[in-house]
Structure 1
Amino acid sequence: MTSRHPESRVLDANGAGALVVIPTFNERENLPIIVGRLLQAQSGIHVLVVDDSSPDGTGDVAEQLAADDAGRRIHVMHRTVKDGLGKAYLAGFAWGLDRDYAVIVEMDADGSHAPEQLHRLLDAVNDGADLVIGSRYVPGGRLVNWPKRREFLSKGANTYARLALGAKVKDITAGYRAFRREVLEKIGLSEVESAGYCFQIDLAWRTLQHGFTIREVPITFTEREIGESKMDGGVIAESFLNVARWGIQGRLAGIRAGKK
């Protein structure tokens, strides 16, 4: 694929210029582990922990990590409401865009996304991709210790989204991804209403609709060892209905364009 960016390399080998946004809610045990691994894997990146007033004290843990970081690479945002993963990411994106980071990364706090594989996403951005998704379902992608029920739901959701939207992304629900700042500036983040995991589909769909390129790189997705998943029935229902609506809107827009 031809790069959209003649001078595509925006990060150095240590990830300088990238911000990793990590939303948290009751992740006090996982957070120090994942942040430590992340800074060891990519010494130049910065981290923004977005904590939704975790009652277990995750926010305090994040503040201590930031205070102990001599390189000032760790930052903390405290939100007073818990209104979904998407809203937490949007707050983190706005913070990063205001501070001129070239690339903004999404990463879970529970260890399911390996920091040691972040370089795969950043290398693809440097190679010219606009949005890079760490994919479980491309050659080389793996699932470790994931319950069969969750795997079935995930694969079913991705198949449904591909068919409904006509998108060719294999893992459009994935939450390990890296955006060039230009993408986040142009896809209308102020209009995003998705709060749960549907947020991932929403942003990927907007990225495609605006003519940006998406590339998938293989990752190993590992089920959390500490804590509980935040997935519930309401998240699934939101995703199903929104994807159907976006698919219909996209097809109607295509029909209207064909009649002009």
Structure 2
Amino acid sequence: MALGEPAAGDERPAESADAAASGVVGKRGERALVVIPTFNERENLPVIVGRLHVALPGSHVLVVDDSSPDGTGEVADGLAAEDADGRIHVLHRTEKDGLGKAYLAGFAWGLDREYATIIEMDADGSHAPEQLHRLLDAVNAGADLVIGSRYVPGGRLVNWPRHRELLSRGANTYARLALGARVHDITAGFRAYRREVLDKIELDTVESAGYCFQIDLAWRAVRAGFDVREVPITFTEREIGESKMSGGVMTEAFLMVARWGLQSRLERFGRRSR
């Protein structure tokens, strides 16, 4: 599947399409915000925003750019200026200090503006905007956090190298066993949060900056008793640009998950011993 093509199998019943297409989530006419972090994504960004607005014309977008040297921030400003409906917003950050920090800045921006649901989506085309309705439908059905999962029935991987798939599956198995969380794709970055989740899980105490940020927030939501669900999505390897994954990111995730798992077990032991 090419970057500019929609994912297959994303037709949806007409009765469920109108709300999400208008950018509305929930019966009270609440609105959703799609947060897209960027660093050197000038070619990918216009394509993914265009696909999003074809799939869900009323959706609002916040591009969080970490001073990309390739001019992604300027491209984002141009998209916002050209959008007569005011659906595209841009947040410029002066330093590149991790995916997690970029998302936290985007969450704070969205919460300040009273968005009811805040969505994470990559800029590189790996997450199909045509499947975002699956996440929003689950939110409308009562879920608090919805994760677009590669590893539940119906989930797919397209053009992903075998070694990357094995690494990802291994990381998810490790996190599930270490934490005791019944989430099959806890590292996934295509997800939708009700604002109540982000309000409660103490974002100002989040330390993780790299990809373990995704594990961190999902684990916090689980521990807080929120309704966390997974829906199947198609994950497609990027065609333009380079992955931001690194050995340092993987090491951070391994060590922090081990620490969280140990803390959780000590807490449970302490409760049983009282």
TM-score (norm 1): 0.95
Alignment-derived partner of residue 209 in structure 2 = 195
Deviation at 1:259, TM superposition (A): 2.0
State which of 116, 122, 145 in structure 2 corresponds to 1:102: 116
Match of 1:27, SS state, is: coil
Q: Percent identity?
A: 77
Deviation at 1:44, TM superposition (A): 1.8
Alignment-derived partner of residue 136 in structure 1 = 150
Give the length in aligned residue pairs: 251
State which of 31, 34, 38 in structure 1 corresponds to 2:45: 31
1:211 aligns with 2:218: no
Unpaired runs of 5+ in structure 2? 1-15, 25-30
Match of 2:241, SS state, is: coil
Deviation at 1:12, TM superposition (A): 2.6
State which of 52, 60, 64 in structure 2 corresponds to 1:50: 64
Alignment-derived partner of residue 245 in structure 1 = 259
Report the Cα distance in structure 1 between the residues aligned to 2:53 and 2:206, rounded to whole angstroms. Answer: 30
RMSD value, Cα:
1.1
> 1:39 is matched by which residue type in structure 2?
H
Report the Cα distance in structure 1 between the residues aligned to 2:80 and 2:250, rounded to whole angstroms. Answer: 35
Unpaired runs of 5+ in structure 1? 1-8
Alignment-derived partner of residue 3 in structure 1 = none
Match of 1:120, SS state, is: helix
> Runs of at least 4 residues of structure 1 off by over 4 A?
none
Report the Cα distance in structure 2 between the residues aligned to 1:43 and 1:185, rounded to whole angstroms. Answer: 27
Alignment-derived partner of residue 13 in structure 1 = 20
Deviation at 1:13, TM superposition (A): 3.2
Report the Cα distance in structure 1 between the residues aligned to 2:271 and 2:102, rounded to whole angstroms. Answer: 35
Match of 2:123, SS state, is: coil
> 2:20 is matched by which residue type in structure 1?
A
Alignment-derived partner of residue 60 in structure 1 = 74
The residue correspondences of 1:84-123 to structure 2 (distance < 5 A) are 84-123=98-137
Match of 1:89, SS state, is: helix
TM-score (norm 2): 0.90
